[in-house]
Amino acid sequence: MIMPPANPFLLLGVIIIIIIVLYLVLRFLSKTSLLYILKKWWRLLEDSCFVYQFYKVPQFNEHMQENQLYRKVSTYLNSLPFVEDSDYANLFSGNKSNEINVVLDSNQVVTDTFLSARVYWKNEKCEPNGSIALVLKIRRNDKRRILRPYLQNILTVFDEIEQRGKEIKLFVNAEAEPQKNGRWRSIPFTHPSTIDTVTMDADLKNKVKSDLESFLKSKQYYHRLGRVWKRSYLLCGPSGTGKSSFVAGMAKFLCYDVYDIDLSKVSDDSDLKMLLLQTTNKSMIVIEDLDRYLSEKSTAVSLSGILNFMDGILSCCGEERVMVFTMNSKDHVDPTVLRPGRIDVHVQFPLCDFPAFKTLANSYLGLKEHKLFPQVEEIFQTGASLSPAEIGEIMISNRNSPSRALKSVITALQTNGDGRGSSKMSQSASGRAVEEAGESGSFFCRESVHSVREFRKLYGLLRMRSSRKESVDLDSVEKEN
């Protein structure tokens, strides 16, 4: 019996009807809880095919002391996007005004994946004492492969979350008082400056940022070398060149607390050691205007006390610390203070030159070009200069009129800036060509060295000519006599 050929239009119509029916069914399931129920049944069926192992992380130990691992795992789980997919979750306000935290509720399960393996966490409430525990459910086949790396990953992520959400504090040392415990007084560190907002050479700024990033990731490297995990920086330059703002930017970049030591309130070398012992890890220790204390002897701390503070045994009692010292000039500082090991990185902050001026004009006035720029550049080329703080203040005072601001800068350079830049030309060049030298990571400038040598040669030639002229004059005077 020969079947009649199928009608292609009828077959196409049936396929279209089936597609429409499937679409409507999926649409219906997505709008109801049936799809969720089907997923749950499928998960139960899948779980029945595997053998699981469970690990409990209790909130308290047998002595009712808080389990630090519980706090770290809880912070990690609450940062996962899967928490929002749980049946119940708690909403809490965060540290910031517009921040909302989603926290896993009790007896709820959250799913996580690591190295292509799926794990489950349950926030379980223990009935006898009402304590809470986090229970990890992991396939036995995946246990040896991912358990320890997974837990280590949780600790790493927790440290990153802690650093991002940490409120930076500024600690200042007070004079010793018997009725008060501790020497440090803290306030919230709310300085608005960042490394990016500081006016300085872009290459130098990137080198410092790269050095800080490398330091943060070098714990194992330092330990392998048998060295303490710390780094020291010297910020050197005239007043108003941005050293203090750069310190604030470094603290924000690292998310470190700042310990600002006032040497005038330190009674002796032992007192300085006690202050160092009371600082914490992951902190920045700052001593400003160190050259003034060393030259004027305005502190009871001796030179050997400062040297021991910089690289003595006590300085090795903490880890992940950054020491920052600021100076106006290194000319009258004992070379032993500046040697590698005590100072790892030297950063020069010069007076303002024309490229730095253009950066300030762009930031303060929104000017990238102006008809007065050539005149300003010509004045800078004569050797006149001001500090970035002085030029910035002029621009702030005249920010409503950029032309008036530039004219005021020109006037200030002609009156107050004459000759200031000529003695600092080697410093102004240091912002343009910077390189790392030696293992200490110090930032030095070849152009500044060449300019100093050329200046010395020129000065020597002038002296030779003047001495020859004086000798000729003396000979003529003797002949006349």
pLDDT in tens, 288-340: 999 988 887 767 888 889 988 888 887 777 788 999 999 999 888 888 999 88
CB 395 within 8 A of CB 249: no
pLDDT in tens, 232-286: 999 999 999 999 999 999 999 998 999 999 998 888 888 899 899 888 888 999 9
CB 387 within 8 A of CB 352: yes
pLDDT in tens, 397-425: 999 999 999 999 999 998 876 455 443 33
Average confidence score pLDDT of the chain: 79
- How are beta strands 169-173 and 184-188 bridged, if at all? antiparallel
C-alpha 140/C-alpha 52 separation (Å) is: 5
pLDDT in tens, 43-72: 666 666 667 888 999 888 777 677 889 889
- How are beta strands 442-444 and 435-437 bridged, if at all? antiparallel
By three-state DSSP, how is residue 370 classified? coil
| List of domains in the chain | 47-165 (no CATH), 169-348 (3.40.50.300), 354-420 (no CATH)
Of 309, 367, 295, the residue nearest 343 (C-alpha): 309
> How many other C-beta atoms lie within 10 A of the C-beta of residue 240?
18
Of 300, 262, 260, 318, the residue nearest 284 (C-alpha): 260
β-strand partners of 403? none
C-alpha 444/C-alpha 435 separation (Å) is: 6
Stretch among 89-103, 129-143, 229-243 having the lowest mean pLDDT = 89-103
By three-state DSSP, how is residue 88 classified? coil
Q: 234 — phi, psi (to 5°)? A: -115, 120
Predicted pLDDT at 426: 36
Query: Both tokens of residue 5?
Result: 């050929």
CB 405 within 8 A of CB 394: yes
User: Is it the case that residue 106 has pLDDT exceeding 80?
Assistant: no
Which pTM does this prediction carry?
A: 0.62
Element (H, E) at 409: helix 402-415
Name residue 385's amino acid: S
pLDDT in tens, 184-198: 898 988 888 999 888
Who wins on pLDDT, 391 or 459?
391
CB 386 within 8 A of CB 420: yes
Q: 435 — phi, psi (to 5°)? A: -145, 155
Predicted pLDDT at 405: 93
C-alpha 323/C-alpha 444 separation (Å) is: 19
The DSSP code sequence of 159-200 is: HHHHHHHPPPEEEEE----TTSS-SEEEEE------TTTS-S
Of 53, 48, 42, the residue nearest 120 (C-alpha): 53
pLDDT in tens, 362-403: 999 999 999 999 999 999 998 888 999 999 999 999 999 999
242: left (phi over 0), alpha (psi -120 to 50) or beta: left
Of 338, 174, 192, 138, the residue nearest 267 (C-alpha): 174
